[in-house]
Amino acid sequence: MDYFNKFLFNAIPTVLLELLAALAGFYFLKKNRNASKYDKYFVVFLWYTFANEVIGAYAPIAYFSEYRIFGFIKGTLFERNYWLYNIYFIINASFLVYYFNNLLSNKKSRKITNFVLWSYVLSAIIFLFATDVYYKSYSNFTFALGAILLLISILLFYFRLLKTDEIIDLKKYLPIYLSIGVMFFYLCVTPIELFAKYFKITNEVYVAIRINLLLICNIFMYTTFIIGFIVCAKDKPNKEKRITK
């Protein structure tokens, strides 16, 4: 029961913030009918993230209820929700790289990044099905490689941003808020996720560190998203606005 309480302490605030971020994104789009299609995609992605979190809750609910709830999954490949999150890791990293990559106007840079992105998706899928990790644990390979590509994409975005007029009024530039939240999350979480194989009930120190770190990072990231949507809802961004230099 103690671990169940810890799970609830971490899960409830995270899911609630995911919902609030998605609602804030919806509010942003309602206030800005001419928002770029990439910002619209980002809001849709937030709703997908929220839905994925809700669906993924079946595994801990079943486990902590001693399979009185969702008992039909006991002993099956779906007893844990690793399969769901391994898919999510690929979609998450791919979409975010796509989002920040399309803020660049340099066609050559976009083509190179898109090639690398598709290579990542293909290699991640092959790795999942060529090993037994898909149903048995989180894929460190998928998560770590996706995080590296994402951080590189954000750094390239910042580099291009320095050469534009957008640097003058960053407070009303939504991608800045989104990039800050995402970068903070991945810089903090990636190192500890590389040791996810040590995530065992008997390793209480690691469990506590991981749970608390994920909670803090999720709170920071989604709060940053919410602030960004609310602040930028007062702006009127041009459709398909990109960094142009």
Nearest to 102 by CA among 182, 157, 155: 157
Q: Return all residues near 108 (Cβ < 8 A) that are at least 6 apart.
A: none
pLDDT-wise least confident of 3-7, 88-92, 99-103: 3-7
Mean pLDDT of the chain: 86
Containing H/E element for 134? helix 133-136
- Rounded Cα distance between 113 and 116, Å, is 5
Report pLDDT for 10.
73
Report pLDDT for 239.
45
Exposed e or buried b for every residue in 115-129, given b needs 16+ CB within 10 A?
Answer: eebeebbeebeebbe
Q: CB 197: neighbour CB atoms within 10 A?
A: 9
Q: Which residue has 């979480």 as its token pair?
A: 189
Report pLDDT for 126.
94
- Rounded Cα distance between 48 and 43, Å, is 9
Report pLDDT for 102.
87
Binned at pLDDT 50, 70 and 90, residue 2 comes out as low
List Cβ<8 Å contacts ≥24 apart for 213-216. 213/188, 213/189, 214/10, 214/14, 214/189, 215/9, 215/10, 215/13, 215/14, 216/188
Whether 3 and 201 have beta carbons less than 8 Å apart is answered as yes
pLDDT, mean of residues 189-202: 70
Amino acid at 22: A
